[in-house]
C-alpha cells in the first residue's frame, strides 16, 4: 500500500512588507422599521487601493452589528480594465457550522464597467429580506481573458461597524479554500492517484515557478525532480510514476 505524505513550505519569491487585512471594501445598511431611515450594520472603510484579481468566486464573511436584519442596501467597489454585460455576479450565502459558505441566499448579475466603480444594490423594506447575523457575500468576474483583470477593492482595513475575519475564501471546484493576499503565500498540495500515476495538484501565487522536491522520509535529503509554473489562477500539476509500496514525501519550493 502506498503511503503518501505532504509537506508545503512557504514560497521564498519575495519579502512581505506588512500583512494585508483580507477584507473587501463594503457597506451594508439595514432597516429598523418601514418608516425609519436605514442604519449601517457593517462597514469596511476605504483605505489602500489594493485589488486581488481572479476569475474564480471570492467570498468574504460578515457579522452584522445591532438587532436589525432587514437589508436596505449593499455597496462595494471593484476595479476592471474591461467591460462585460452581466459579467459580475454578486451572491450571498448562509454560513455553515464549518465556517464556509452554505445555502445560497441571493444572487444578482451586474455589468462590469471599464475602470470599475462603486456598486450600490438597494432593497425595498420587506421582512422576507432579513439576513442572518453572520453570512458570506461573494463576487465572481466572468469574461476575463488574456491581459484583462478584475477584482474587488481591498483597503487593508478592519470593520468599523460589525466584524469580518481576516480571511477570504476562493471557490475551487466544490471547495472553499482560504487564500493569502500577501507575499510569501502558503502553498497547498493535493494528490490524485490513478494506477501508478500520481498527479500532484499545486496551488500557489499566479505565474510562479516552483520546484517540486521528493524525499523518501522526513530525515532524508530532498531531491529536486521538476520545475513547474502556475497559471494565471495559481494552479499547476506535476505527474510522477510511483511504485505500489513504500512512502513518498513531496514539497514545493519557490525560486
Q: Residue 166: give its domain's CATH number.
A: 2.60.120
198 or 234, greater pLDDT? 198
Domain boundaries, position 58 = 26-179
Using one digit for the tens of pLDDT, what is the confidence trace for 50-94?
888 888 899 999 999 999 999 999 999 999 999 999 999 999 999
* pLDDT at 14 (0 to 100): 27
Which residues, in sequence order, are CB contacts of 112 under 8 Å at separation 6+? 80, 82, 83, 84, 87, 88, 141, 143, 150
Question: How many domains does the chain divide into?
Answer: 2
Q: Indicate whether 189 and 229 sit together in one domain.
A: yes
Share of the chain above pLDDT 90, in %: 51
How far apart are the C-alpha atoms of 236 and 205, rounded to whole Å?
Answer: 10
With respect to residue 21, please indicate whether it lies within any of the assigned structural domains: no
Q: Tell whether 52 and 100 lie within a shared domain.
A: yes
Q: Is residue 79 part of a domain?
A: yes
pLDDT at 184 over 90: no
The alpha carbon dihedral of 115, 62, 180, 90 has a sign of negative
Same domain, 162 and 217: no
Distance of CA 250 to the CA centre of its chain: 25
More confident residue, 190 or 38: 38
- Strand, coil or helix: what is 102? strand
Q: Who has greater pLDDT, 17 or 49?
A: 49
Same domain as 133, residue 32: yes
CA distance 55 to 170: 10
Q: Is 31 found in the same domain as 105? A: yes
Tell me the percentage of the chain whose pLDDT exceeds 70. Answer: 85
The highest-confidence range among 88-92, 143-147, 204-208, 246-250, by mean pLDDT, is 88-92
CATH number, residue 215: 2.60.40
> 117, 146, 179: which is the final residue of a domain?
179
Q: Are residues 161 and 205 in the same domain?
A: no
Question: How far apart are alpha carbons 56 and 169 in whole angstroms?
Answer: 10
Amino acid at each position: 500500500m502506498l503511503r503518501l505524505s505532504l509537506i508545503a513550505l512557504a514560497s521564498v519569491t519575495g519579502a512581505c512588507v506588512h500583512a494585508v487585512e483580507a477584507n473587501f471594501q463594503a457597506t451594508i445598511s439595514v432597516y429598523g422599521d418601514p418608516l425609519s431611515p436605514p442604519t449601517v450594520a457593517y462597514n469596511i472603510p476605504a483605505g489602500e487601493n489594493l485589488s486581488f484579481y481572479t476569475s474564480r468566486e471570492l467570498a468574504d464573511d460578515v457579522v452584522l452589528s445591532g438587532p436589525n436584519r432587514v437589508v436596505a442596501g449593499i455597496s462595494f467597489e471593484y476595479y476592471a480594465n474591461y467591460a462585460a454585460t452581466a459579467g459580475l455576479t454578486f451572491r450571498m450565502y448562509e454560513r455553515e457550522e464549518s465556517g464556509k459558505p452554505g445555502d445560497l441566499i441571493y444572487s444578482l448579475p451586474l455589468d462590469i464597467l471599464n475602470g470599475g466603480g462603486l456598486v450600490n444594490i438597494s432593497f425595498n423594506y420587506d421582512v422576507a429580506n432579513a439576513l442572518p447575523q453572520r453570512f458570506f457575500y461573494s463576487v465572481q468576474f466572468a469574461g476575463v481573458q488574456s491581459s484583462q483583470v478584475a477584482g474587488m477593492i481591498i483597503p487593508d482595513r478592519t470593520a468599523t461597524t460589525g466584524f469580518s475575519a481576516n480571511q477570504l475564501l476562493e471557490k475551487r471546484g466544490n471547495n472553499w479554500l482560504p487564500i493569502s493576499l500577501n507575499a510569501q503565500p502558503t502553498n497547498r498540495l493535493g494528490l490524485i492517484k490513478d494506477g501508478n500515476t500520481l498527479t500532484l495538484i499545486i496551488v500557489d501565487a499566479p505565474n510562479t515557478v516552483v520546484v517540486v522536491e521528493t524525499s523518501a522520509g522526513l530525515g532524508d535529503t530532498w531531491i529536486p525532480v521538476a520545475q513547474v509554473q502556475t497559471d494565471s489562477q495559481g494552479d499547476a500539476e506535476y505527474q510522477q510514476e510511483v511504485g505500489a509500496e513504500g512512502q513518498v514525501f513531496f514539497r514545493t519550493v519557490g525560486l
